[in-house]
Amino acid sequence: MSKVLIVAEHLNGKLNSSTARCVTCAQAFNADSIDVLVLADTPAAIAAEAAAIAGVSKVLTISHSANAHAIAAVYAPQVVAAAQGYSHVLAPSTTFGKDLAPRIAALLGVAQVSDIAEVVNAHCFKRPIYAGNAIITVEAPADAVLVATVRTASFAAAAAGGSAAIEALNVSAELPAHTRFVELQQGKSDRPDLQSASRVVSGGRGVGSAENFAVIYQLADKLGAAVGASRAAVDAGYVPSDLQVGQTGKIIAPELYMAIGISGAIQHLTGIKDAGTIVAINKDGEAPIFEIADIGLVGDLFTLVPQLEAALG
Amino acid sequence: MKILVGYKRVVDYNVRIQVKPDGSGVVTEGVKLSANPFDDIALEEALRLREKGVATDVVVATIGPADCQAHLRNGLAMGANRAIHVVTTQAVQPLTAARTLLKLIEKEQPDIVILGKQAIDDDCNQTGQMLAALWNRPQATFASKVDINGRNARVTREVDAGLETIEVDLPAVITTDLRLNEPRFIKLPDIMKAKSKPLETIPLESLAVESGDHLKTTHYAAPAKRSKGVMVKDVAELVSLLKTKGLV
Ligand SMILES: Cc1cc2nc3c(=O)[nH]c(=O)nc-3n(C[C@H](O)[C@H](O)[C@H](O)COP(=O)(O)OP(=O)(O)OC[C@H]3O[C@@H](n4cnc5c(N)ncnc54)[C@H](O)[C@@H]3O)c2cc1C
């Protein structure tokens, strides 16, 4: 009997698609019920979005001014209070879930499974370790609550079409004041979101400068793609940190991934291993990226990328 | 002000990890071991806070087998004042690590605890958050900038949406992201100096830590290989291939 509670991720009043991916993961448990918990200052609109995900049994809301921002130390005791009677508590393996889930697990006194990539059964999972160089099968005790994060790139988002009931919860939990939100600097962009985009164009150190990144942005815009980057490109200041793809950045699974001026270090590749088609453009024919690319093109990106953009009309 | 730094030893990030054919583990015999890169960043940040006069005492701690001493000496050579070695033959899971570090906190009473956001062996990304929960103190995870102002810290965090800044009261747990700083290299004279710095050894059993090793790894497998693709000679060929696949 699995009763699953998923902690919803949301920002600026909108539900993140990572929540619907957690629903798909939970469905693989043959769960008896899948509930979604929305902590927010004004949860109504977010809860309505969650209620529309097919497969969701019930949406629970905890409305509190302290929940205006996702502060793990504030959310965790409320989730623990709400989690009574559940067999599983899931959160997406995004920075939101990674920050929050271990705090919940520790308060419950249980271990946490990070980055579920495949469900064997409700207490047995596969997950990557060593930057994806090994996949382990992990068994968790069946007699304790299971807290886990879900590797969102491994699960498609559950479809819309649900109409779950929404219920307001009153939990008594002591909320700490020791942690205060100051600000969120968000890159303003009309481009698709990197974590859910079906096409991604990424640039690496080979792009050479922030100015040169214009060629990447232009190709991305032609394709309606999101923009990503390697760690080296972020470290060098070509692009902001939220574009980093890889072991310690974002793990993504677009239908089309274009790696441009990226060598293909294992830490980068682990972030794209579930991509549909990987295209690599690199001037070094020996670059490791070509070992995993579905389509490779050797040459100078400053010649090839504008050509490609033009050819796409 | 005292800073406690978690300093784990892991397989070096340059090593090509091989899964044993019988699925019982990964090959660790004879491979290069190094400090977890995020922990080097944690130690570097602590040292910089000491150099700025914010902190006076930097203590590095590791939980690991007897031969971790050399690893801790590296931490001392980098500049830590003291080291604590919690000795155990078994690798511990994050909840046990957090419970163990809590014991060290009770003993050392640090104002700041800095850990790496994840260890690059198990890639769990849990220990700092668990420790903060057990300690009932703030957590500032994935830090790319830390400013200490008296009894609070302003920390910029690398989150999926961009850069988030939070303010936390001290004491607190901070976990490091890659861009917080660039760790210094160890110089030869410092290795000599480190030999005489205090290194305390504590058997894990003596700390009476309740084990949190609840998870059992039953199998290790190599990742599925992507099949080798094709090389195209020019952009026209690339575009026509993408068109065939229905991708553009
Ligand atoms: C703990 C840790 C975590 C890490 N996490 C991540 C992570 O999450 N994500 C990540 O990406 N990396 C990560 N890394 C870093 C990783 O190891 C590599 O250093 C990084 O991915 C390299 O980025 P790059 O391919 O852009 O740069 P490089 O390796 O320098 O490659 C640049 C490539 O550009 C090509 N090039 C240059 N000029 C041109 C041109 N004009 N036209 C065409 N091609 C050109 C070159 O041939 C080369 O192949 C991590 C490392 C560590 C230690």
Kindly indicate the confidence band of residue A244, based on its pLDDT and cuts at 50, 70 and 90: very high
Residues 12-51 of B with CB under 8 A from A: 13, 16-17, 19, 26
CATH number for region A3-168: 3.40.50.620
Mean pLDDT, residues B64-77: 97
Residue A82 has pLDDT above 80, yes or no: yes
Instruction: For chain B, give the percent of residues with pLDDT over 70.
Output: 100
Kindly indicate the confidence band of residue A63, based on its pLDDT and cuts at 50, 70 and 90: very high
Count of domains forming chain B: 1
Given this model, what pLDDT does residue B228 score?
82
C-alpha to C-alpha distance for B68 and B70, rounded to whole angstroms: 5
Given this model, what pLDDT does residue A1 score?
79
Q: What Cα–Cα distance (Å) separates residue B95 from each residue in A54, A145, A274, B128?
A: 34, 14, 30, 10
For A136, the closest of B132, B140, B220 (CB atoms) is: B220
| 3-class secondary-structure state, position A164 | coil
Residue A66 has pLDDT above 90, yes or no: yes
Instruction: Give the model confidence (pLDDT) of A202-218 as tens digits.
Output: 999 999 999 999 999 99
Given this model, what pLDDT does residue B213 score?
98
Mean pLDDT, residues B238-248: 96
Kindly indicate the confidence band of residue A313, based on its pLDDT and cuts at 50, 70 and 90: confident
Kindly indicate the confidence band of residue B226, based on its pLDDT and cuts at 50, 70 and 90: confident
Residue of A nearest to B126 (CA): A102
Mean pLDDT, residues B3-19: 97
Q: Do A105 and B95 touch (CB under 8 A)?
A: yes
Buried b (16+ CB within 10 A) or exposed e, A252-268: bbbebbbbbbbbbbbbb
Distance from CA of A48 to the nearest CA of B (A): 22
Q: Do B233 and B117 form a contact (C-beta atoms < 8 A)?
A: no
Given this model, what pLDDT does residue A188 score?
76
Mean pLDDT, residues B155-162: 97
Instruction: Give the model confidence (pLDDT) of A279-293 as tens digits.
Output: 999 999 999 999 999
Range of the domain at B104: 2-244
Q: Do A95 and B157 touch (CB under 8 A)?
A: yes
Residue B6 has pLDDT above 90, yes or no: yes
* CATH code assigned at B216: 3.40.50.620
C-alpha to C-alpha distance for A245 and A140, rounded to whole angstroms: 29
Residues 126-145 of B with CB under 8 A from A: 126-134, 136-142, 144
Instruction: Give the model confidence (pLDDT) of B29-65 as tens digits.
Output: 999 999 999 999 999 999 999 999 999 999 999 999 9
Mean pLDDT, residues B124-146: 98
C-alpha to C-alpha distance for B155 and B142, rounded to whole angstroms: 9
For B239, the closest of A102, A278, A311 (CB atoms) is: A311
Mean pLDDT, residues B87-107: 97
Instruction: Give the model confidence (pLDDT) of A175-184 as tens digits.
Output: 999 999 999 9
Q: Which amino acid is at B195?
A: K
| 3-class secondary-structure state, position B177 | coil
Given this model, what pLDDT does residue A33 score?
98
Q: Do B215 and A139 touch (CB under 8 A)?
A: yes
Domains of chain A, residue spans: 3-168, 199-312
Residue A37 has pLDDT above 90, yes or no: yes
State the average pLDDT for chain A.
97
Instruction: For chain A, give the percent of residues with pLDDT over 70.
Output: 100
Entry pTM: 0.97
Q: Do B172 and B153 form a contact (C-beta atoms < 8 A)?
A: yes
Give B23's Cβ-side CA count (13 Å radius).
10
Q: What Cα–Cα distance (Å) separates residue B218 from each residue in A125, B24, B119?
A: 10, 8, 21
Mean pLDDT, residues A113-135: 97
Q: Do B246 and A198 form a contact (C-beta atoms < 8 A)?
A: no
Strand A124-129 to A118-121 pairing = antiparallel
C-alpha to C-alpha distance for B31 and B213, rounded to whole angstroms: 25
- H or E element: which one contains B49? helix B37-51
Given this model, what pLDDT does residue A4 score?
98
C-alpha to C-alpha distance for B37 and B55, rounded to whole angstroms: 22
- Among A207, A250, A262, A272, which is best to mutate for testing ligand 1, by the most ligand atoms less than 8 A from CB? A262
- Could you tell me the fold of the domain covering A199-312? Rossmann fold (3.40.50)
Q: How many residues does chain B have?
A: 248
C-alpha to C-alpha distance for B3 and B79, rounded to whole angstroms: 13
ipTM of the complex: 0.97
Six-digit token string for B5: 């730094």
For A182, the closest of B154, B229, B232 (CB atoms) is: B154
